Amino acid sequence: MNTVLKNRIVYIPIEKRMREMSAKLLVALELTRRDFSVVFGFHRAILANLSNFPPGAVLFKGMNRVQEEFMTQAMPYEHVLLATDEEALGAGDAKYLTTEIQDNVHKLIRLVLCQGETQKRGLATYKNFTEDQLSVVGNPRVDLLREPLRGVMDAEAVEMRAARGPFVLINTNFGATLSDRHSIEEYRRRLITIGWADPAAPESVALMEAHIADDIANVSAIGNYVRAMNSARPDIRLILRPHPSEDRRHWLTLSNEVGNLEVVENTEAGPWMIACDLLVQTGCTTGVEAAILGASTLSLITQSDGDGFWTNFLSNKINPVVRSIDEAVDFTAAKVDRSETYAFAEAERGAALADHIAIDLKQTAAEKTAIAIGAIGEETFQCPAPEAFRLPVNLDEHLKRTVKRWVWDDAKMDMEDLARGIVNLSMLDPELSKTETVSLGWGTFLLRAA
């Protein structure tokens, strides 16, 4: 393990622009104002070029088998390895949080930026991380929900209500079994490839099958809920936001079947959650974000098992849960009609959130992340010129041959995207705008203090 960051350089790969870009860009901006240089962008371009880049810190989005392989490849080039867990925000159990994390990855990683005590406890208990490898900083995705960015979402929400009137929002997250990119069998193989499931371990296989069965049941539950709402309360407008990895045709077919469902795609969740009368979901991370925003949220869980796979998700622990379609319809009608009689223990929600996500009203998670990274670095360093970070011609040819179109579409960003992101995030602190950006090609950029 490389333990000391000799160069004030951090590499931040992005795989899913819609989900990752804003929060990780905020971290990048906090680093640049602390005199770090940051290479930010398309994960395939950054990870494939670590042998050529100047030594720095590499911030991985997780610790599964594929990421462990990239970490192992980076080790000989004196990079210091850091990690977050992009999937942690929605998981509600310390052990479940570590499902795909590899048993020996702790030997490679200098520091994990934990979002809360639950994650820290899980990594120490189940994956042998030591105290000095774990720093609780919060989750930068939650930073995006605070003022003044919250005010921007509020303004967008007002426009949505004016355009559409009252509505119920449905957020889905069924990319496992409702995908236009892979079959369910291919998804099983993917879980095995990344180390989420071990085909030689019966308990692991059982968890995988429970996950898939849960996903299938939730797809059915949302369809049945929409049909029941259309029958019982056709006057209530429903708006469904599918996960980007889902097959949109499924929901468009459902929309054509009923008269009160609109499908909206490729939009930020925040304004929709604020604008709606009620968010209905089945364990989605947006249920956590909605709870933090104070939006009315419902977990629809129709599976018969009382302690099944659905209990692994934080959203189902901090929001009201209904166990039947009829109850969901009644709950929805009561919310829209402002006659709800359902109670929920807010103190219980607050305690669960506090243990899961560290939220500091005086300091953002992005700031804490940058400070934690800075604590393992040298005090002074002259960053090489941008030419030192340019992608070589042979790498360009390699990426053109090997990158699938949808992988690129999920991640790609250009200088305009970056500029808009910086302007937006600078609302949190105008000092963040003092950043110079240089395009390196393939949706990858060098950021440094202006």
* CATH number reported for the structural domain that contains residue 340 in this entry: 3.40.50.2000
Backbone φ, ψ for residue 221 (5° rounding): -65, -40
How far apart CA 123 and CA 112 sit, in angstroms, is 9
Residue 312 belongs to a domain: yes
Q: Is pLDDT at 310 greater than 80 in this prediction?
A: yes
| pLDDT band of 378, cuts 50, 70, 90 | low
Q: Is pLDDT at 307 greater than 90 in this prediction?
A: no
How far apart CA 23 and CA 89 sit, in angstroms, is 13
Q: Based on the domain organization, do 134 and 33 belong to the same domain?
A: yes
Q: Is pLDDT at 13 greater than 70 in this prediction?
A: yes
Mean pLDDT across the stretch 163-173?
A: 95
How far apart CA 155 and CA 153 sit, in angstroms, is 5
Residue 305 pLDDT: 76
Last residue of a domain, one of 292, 322, 356: 356
Higher pLDDT, 117 or 450: 117
Q: Based on the domain organization, do 131 and 234 belong to the same domain?
A: no
Residue 250 belongs to a domain: yes
Residue 345 pLDDT: 56
| pLDDT band of 348, cuts 50, 70, 90 | low
Full DSSP string of 235-261:
TSEEEEE--TTB-HHHHHHHHHHSSSE
Residue numbers of the domain that contains 95: 9-142+361-449
Last residue of a domain, one of 313, 340, 356: 356
Q: Based on the domain organization, do 200 and 233 belong to the same domain?
A: yes
Residue 379 pLDDT: 57
Q: Based on the domain organization, do 369 and 399 belong to the same domain?
A: yes
Other beta carbons less than 10 A from residue 240's beta carbon: 22
- Give the pairing of strands 134-136 and 111-114: parallel
pLDDT in tens, 238-282: 999 999 889 999 999 999 999 899 999 888 899 999 999 999 999
Q: Based on the domain organization, do 164 and 304 belong to the same domain?
A: yes
Q: Based on the domain organization, do 251 and 340 belong to the same domain?
A: yes
Q: Is pLDDT at 384 greater than 80 in this prediction?
A: no
% of the chain beyond a pLDDT of 70 = 96
| pLDDT band of 346, cuts 50, 70, 90 | low
Edge-to-edge, what's the strand order for the sheet holding 37-42? 134-136, 111-114, 80-83, 57-60, 9-14, 37-42, 444-449, 435-441
User: In this structure, what DSSP letter does residue 179 have?
Assistant: B
Q: Based on the domain organization, do 228 and 126 belong to the same domain?
A: no
3-class SS letters over 182-211: CCHHHHHHHHHHCCCCCCCCHHHHHHHHHH
The three-state secondary structure class of 116 is coil
| pLDDT band of 388, cuts 50, 70, 90 | confident
Is 109:71 a contact under the CB 8 Å cutoff?
Answer: yes
Q: Is pLDDT at 306 greater than 60 in this prediction?
A: yes
Residue carrying structure tokens 């934990």: 114
Is 274:157 a contact under the CB 8 Å cutoff?
Answer: yes
CA dihedral sign of residues 240, 245, 246, 249 = positive
Angle at 292 between CA 155 and CA 242, to 5 degrees: 70
Q: Is pLDDT at 397 greater than 90 in this prediction?
A: no
Last residue of a domain, one of 356, 375, 403: 356
Residue 353 pLDDT: 85
Q: Based on the domain organization, do 160 and 104 belong to the same domain?
A: no
Other beta carbons less than 10 A from residue 163's beta carbon: 8
Residue 2 belongs to a domain: no
Compute the half-sphere exposure of residue 302: CA atoms within 13 Å on the CB side of its CA.
Answer: 20
Edge-to-edge, what's the strand order for the sheet holding 321-322? 261-263, 237-241, 167-171, 278-281, 297-300, 321-322
Q: Is pLDDT at 342 greater than 60 in this prediction?
A: no
Residue 304 pLDDT: 78
Q: Is pLDDT at 50 greater than 60 in this prediction?
A: yes
6 CB-contact burial (10 Å; exposed 0-12 / middle 13-18 / buried 19+): middle
How far apart CA 170 and CA 156 sit, in angstroms, is 18
- Give the pairing of strands 297-300 and 261-263: unpaired
Residue 88 belongs to a domain: yes
- Domains of the chain: total: 2
Backbone φ, ψ for residue 365 (5° rounding): -65, -35
Residue 407 contacts by C-beta under 8 Å, 6 or more apart in sequence?
Answer: 44
pLDDT in tens, 398-414: 899 999 998 999 999 99
Residue 347 pLDDT: 58
Mean pLDDT across the stretch 5-19?
A: 89
pLDDT in tens, 141-154: 999 999 999 999 99
**CATH number of 61's domain:** 3.40.50
Residue 202 belongs to a domain: yes
- Answer whether 0.85 is exceeded by the pTM: yes
Q: Is pLDDT at 174 greater than 70 in this prediction?
A: yes
CA dihedral sign of residues 310, 315, 318, 322 = negative
Residue 162 contacts by C-beta under 8 Å, 6 or more apart in sequence?
Answer: none
Q: Based on the domain organization, do 351 and 365 belong to the same domain?
A: no
Q: Based on the domain organization, do 225 and 336 belong to the same domain?
A: yes
How far apart CA 444 and CA 389 sit, in angstroms, is 10
How far apart CA 154 and CA 144 sit, in angstroms, is 13
Is 55:48 a contact under the CB 8 Å cutoff?
Answer: no
Q: Based on the domain organization, do 202 and 138 belong to the same domain?
A: no
Q: Is pLDDT at 341 greater than 70 in this prediction?
A: no
Residue type, 80: V
Residue 1 pLDDT: 74
How far apart CA 365 and CA 89 sit, in angstroms, is 13
Residue 345 belongs to a domain: yes
Q: Based on the domain organization, do 316 and 198 belong to the same domain?
A: yes
Most confident of 175-184, 189-198, 262-271: 189-198
Residue 4 belongs to a domain: no
Mean of the per-residue pLDDT values of the chain: 92
pLDDT in tens, 198-249: 999 999 999 999 999 999 999 999 999 999 999 999 999 999 999 988 999 9
Residue 310 belongs to a domain: yes
